[in-house]
Amino acid sequence: MKPGATCGTLGGSRRKGPWRGRRVVVTMKSTSARWLCCLLVLLALPALGQEGSLTGSVLHALSQQPLAGVKVSAASPVLQGERVTTTDARGLYTLRLPPGRYALRFEKESFSPVTRTDVEVKAGPRREAPVALHPALAAVSGSTFQPLAPFAPPLRLESDGVAWMAAPRVGDIRDRAPPWALPQNPPPRDGASAFAQMFPGSKPLRDSDTRGHGVNPTIDTEEERVSTYTFQMSTASYALARGYLERDTLPAEESVRVEDFVNSFDLGPSGEQVGLFFLTVEGFPSPSRKGYHVVRVSVCAREALSDVGVQLEFERGAVSRYRLVGYENQSATPEKPSDDDEETPVPLAKGACVTAIYEVKLLRPAIAFGTLRILYEQGENTMWRRVQMLMPSSTLRSSAAKVAPATRLAYVAAAFAEKLRGSYWTRSLDWARLHALWEEVGAPLTERPDVVELGALIKKAGALDHRKDLYGPASTLSNMDMDNVPGPGK
């Protein structure tokens, strides 16, 4: 057989003539190119499917204990965006990444972030060296807070003598411990004395101090930096208001208790575990008060406690003014004020949570804007104990979208109560905007029946509210005094 005929057969043509050889050459080249491309693709498929596995651990720099909940993010030119994970209870993390060079960032609230650069990832598993995170307070120079490093994890401490015993003792550590870091003797049970000894510089808020004075005032931290409140509240005020609105009537302003509204909703026991509590501190810019942040403070009991009180001490270098929203009337029965010489225990059941809302005006950037302290007793005839936790400024987010849905819900409930009370501080927040904020709480909370009902009640109240603005026409909203309440009509 002639070579030309063979090639003609392969090319799929039996025609004779001068074009036959040329057509065959072109066809053979095309066929070879296609086969070569297919072969290259098949060889590349296993490589495209391979990723590296990067595993490591994160430790507390001082105690060398594993840190759970540390955010670990990986960035690289080979990725679009970041890959993120968190450490488990053993402080371990695992990231699956395509081969390349990465920058790893390790972040946790109350700790200084750490970044590792030029981390090379290849196909297959790789173990990274442990990362140690230092408490943020340790990096602050000239801080007015007492350093806790020798006594306990720096941002929290239980003063029953357990936490500080975990640190190696050099001589007697009690000689160097601040007074609040030591076991406390039971204070006299005479009301004010108990709070005075456990919460220096403050006094308990009494119903007789605030009844008839409207909403709580805004406090200058130069005059008083300590805010104290107790857990004497119920959900009765919210139930009463709901009943009035269902009958197409606004409730009486004096019957509305902000704390009852907020604590009518289950916000979940999330937060930082500190001793016998889960503590949550989170905030965002106030939708109604320019220059202020709304701050949610939630305290959840891990055990049943016989008596509980809360104190916030604001750092004067970080906060210029603050206001406790609600808790104006600590007495459950206004007709019978509590005896000044008698202290009524305030129990907290296991799993129960209590939330307060603050408005805080920041002065300048700081690692922490204050300290949260809790005084408690467990059982009868036991000594008073106290836990405390710094409130990092990193918990104050740049927008409401960056806080937990539960924090947004707590604010909406508080703002709803303040609107019903005719509070000056919600004057710039109309009912339509409040309902929009309720919608922004987001799923799954806005799918819960009780939260759905809250949205309906806000709409109903907006339709019923024909009260006159005591502080002037709408045209004056643009120049509201955001620090002080003016007289009516001014």
What torsion, rounded to 10 degrees, do the Cα atoms 318, 322, 325, 327 define? 100
Residue 242, pLDDT > 70, answer: yes
Main-chain dihedrals φ then ψ at residue 135, nearest 5 degrees = -55, 140
DSSP 3-state helix, strand, coil percentages of the chain (rounded to 5)? 30, 25, 45
Amino acid at the residue 168: P
pLDDT at 20 > cutoff 50 = no
Banded pLDDT at 39 (limits 50, 70, 90): low
Confidence of residue 296 (pLDDT cuts 50, 70, 90): very high
Which secondary-structure segment (H or E) carries 41?
helix 20-49
**Token reading at 339:** 């005896």
d(CA 258, CA 372): 21
What is the gyration radius of the CA atoms in the chain, in angstroms?
32
**Count of Cβ atoms closer than 10 Å to residue 352 Cβ:** 16
Q: What angle do CA 230, 234, 236 make, to 5 degrees?
A: 150
Q: Give Cα 288 distance to the centre of its chain.
A: 20
Token pair, residue 351, equals: 């799993």
Give the model's confidence band at 33: pLDDT under 50 very low, under 70 low, under 90 confident, else very high: low
C-alpha span between 112 and 26 (Å, rounded) = 67
Which residues, 6+ apart, have CB-to-CB distance to 413 below 8 Å? 261, 262, 264, 265, 454
pLDDT, residue 384, reads 79
Measured between alpha carbons, how far is 11 from 86 in angstroms, rounded to an integer? 61
Q: What would the two tokens of residue 283 be?
A: 């905030």
Query: Token digits for 479?
Result: 């120049």
Q: Which long-range contacts does 9-13 make (Cβ < 8 Å, 24+ apart)?
A: none
Q: Are 177 and 148 in contact (CB under 8 A)?
A: no
Question: What digits encode the pLDDT tens for the residues 41-67?
Answer: 444 444 445 788 899 999 988 778 899
- pLDDT digit string, tens, across residues 312-357: 999 999 999 999 999 886 433 333 333 443 446 678 888 889 999 9
